[in-house]
Amino acid sequence: MYLPGTADESRRRRAPRAVRARLHGLSLVELLIFIVVVSAALAGVLQVFVQATATSADPLLRRQALAIAESLLEEVQLMPFTWCDGDDANVETATSAAACAGTPEATGPEAGENRYAVPQFDHANDYHGYATSGIVDINQAAVPGLSAYSASVSVASAALNTLTAGSGDALRITVTVSGPGATQVTLEGYRSRHAPNASL
């Protein structure tokens, strides 16, 4: 601000007309250009917000599918991994399939075994081929909000570090979960046999 009678006021009066014009602020044209530029920038930012809002449910669906897959994978990995079926008399002592009193453990459930009722799965191999449409807990009660998800499990002998697939000492467990919006999550985990058994 220039006060009358001061040195600043004196310099302002002596300045050329072009310099004085710049001291008065924005012109109408400059103001309009500023408004157009800011409007274009805001439109771009709003478009990002619209896209983020439209797809905000996708991460939730994927996280839910991941939680289901992790839970089922952990359940299978915690099951016993022995040479013999859990009902075999030699299940705790057999050091090979030949040492079983009855039939050695095979891939897939034995006749009548299921995840929910007696006789239940008693071995990691029993989960091979398990599938469910709509997620249920271990008591076969539907979990609220998860009816649109499905899960399947595959169990196979695998090579793991120095273990060969033919040794039968390692299993690869694959859990696949599908959900709404073409959501699909696949997790893999391993279960190794501890000498001679892995009943815990």
Q: Give me the pLDDT at residue 51, please.
A: 76
Q: Give me the pLDDT at residue 153, please.
A: 97
The residue written with tokens 């039939």 in the block is: 103
Q: Establish whether the linkage from the previous residue to 104 is cis, with ω within 30° of 0.
A: no
Q: Give me the pLDDT at residue 16, please.
A: 59
* Rg of the chain (C-alpha set): 35
**Model confidence pLDDT, tens digit, residues 29-54:** 888 899 999 999 998 888 887 777 66
Please give the backbone phi and psi of residue 81, each rounded to the nearest 5 degrees, phi first: -135, 85
| Integer Cα distance of 197 and 199 in angstroms | 6
Q: Are 130 and 153 in contact (CB under 8 A)?
A: yes
Report the b/e string of 83-103 with b at 16+ CB within 10 A: bbbbebeebeebeeeeebeee
Tens-level pLDDT at each residue, the chain (200 residues): 545 555 555 555 555 565 555 556 778 888 889 999 999 999 888 888 777 766 655 788 899 999 999 999 999 999 999 898 888 888 888 888 889 998 888 889 888 888 888 888 989 999 999 999 999 887 888 999 899 999 999 999 999 888 888 888 899 999 999 999 889 999 999 998 865 555 44
Q: Would you list the DSSP string of the chain? A: -PPTTSHHHHHHHHS-HHHHHHTT---HHHHHHHHHHHHHHHHHHHHHHHHHHHTTHHHHHHHHHHHHHHHHHHHHHTS-B-SB-TTSTTTTT-SSGGG-SSPBP-SSPPTT-BSSSSSBP-SGGGGTT-EEES-B-TTSPBPTT-TT-EEEEEEEE--BTTB-GGGT-EEEEEEEEEEGGGEEEEEEEEEEPPSS-B--
Q: Are 94 and 196 in contact (CB under 8 A)?
A: yes
Q: Give me the pLDDT at residue 160, please.
A: 87
**Model confidence pLDDT, tens digit, residues 61-80:** 899 999 999 999 999 999 99
Q: Give me the pLDDT at residue 161, please.
A: 86
Q: Give me the pLDDT at residue 54, please.
A: 63
Q: Give me the pLDDT at residue 57, please.
A: 56
Q: Give me the pLDDT at residue 21, please.
A: 53
- Entry pTM: 0.68
**Amino acid code (one letter) for 42:** L
